[in-house]
Amino acid sequence: MVNDRADIATRLIEERAKIGYSQADFARQLDISREGLRLYEMGQRSLNAEFLARAAGFGIDVQYILTGIKSKNSEEVLQAIQPAIHVESGGSANVIQFAQLGSTVNMVTTQKHVTNVKADIKPGVEHITEEQAAKLTKMVSTIAELEQKVRKTPRTYKAIWAAVNSHCRVTRYRLIPLASYAKAEKYLRTWIGRLNSQASAPIVDNDEWRKRKYAYIKINIKNNELWLDEYISKRFGATSLRDLSDAELDKTYKAVAAKKKASR
């Protein structure tokens, strides 16, 4: 079982969703900022012992989060990571106090009841359509493939989905609001563009990388081919994009992008 930070973050989101808390509600219960919890769930911040101990007090399976293995002895695991926990009911919220190791504490056992409500997915009405869901899935697959080819420590398929869900503030991608589809698509397109622009991209998958550069240049230089011909001729002594080296093609790509931006 791979237990990198991204996988741990994904399992944290799963556990939070399982006990029925939204990101904002869970952050309030743990007495941390929503941004702090978001960083945990994005894998951008390492989980600390205090956070895990508090989360365990709400029924989170800490063993599963850290190892990917469901705990069969939750009570023993709970006692192992929380030597003493005192839970007091105060109105609608619980107050959790943590005792120091070696101290004598009167344990109060309370039974926590959690009602999980299955979300009613309404494609095309409240949530993204089947077609939009398929498009997002394809884009996530593209990112996963590029991550494997370009990065030394690639993000997993699950971690990518977790990032998308967190960005759109949902627990599952099928719950992305219809109005947030453009937000999700832009997020994924930006991710793809970031991977494609990495220096290692042409070395890892040269043919595909060059095809993407050709396509971008041709689309964005339409009706201005003369400028392109003069540019590659003066700069590189070439008569065609296919005559350019990877470095020269990348410079041409950036020049076209800059020209496009300047013309807006």
pLDDT along the chain (264 residues), means of 10: 72 80 81 88 86 83 86 59 42 43 46 57 90 90 86 87 92 92 93 80 73 89 89 93 90 90 77
φ/ψ of 177, rounded to 5, equals -60, 150
Alpha-carbon span 47 to 82, nearest angstrom: 15
Distances (CA, A) of 118 to 18, 19, 27, 142, 172: 10, 12, 21, 30, 12
What pLDDT is attached to residue 107? 45
Each domain of the chain, given as residue ranges in start order, spans: 5-98, 130-198, 204-262
Which CATH number, 3.40.50.2300, 1.10.260.40, 1.25.10.10, 1.10.287.80, labels domain 5-98? 1.10.260.40
Nearest in space to 42 (alpha carbons), one of 6, 68, 3, 14:
6
φ/ψ of 232, rounded to 5, equals -75, -25
What pLDDT is attached to residue 1? 44
Largest CA distance in the chain: 83
What pLDDT is attached to residue 58? 76
What pLDDT is attached to residue 43? 84
Overall pTM > 0.85: no
* CA angle in degrees (0–180, nearest 5) for 58-63-66: 110
What pLDDT is attached to residue 203? 63
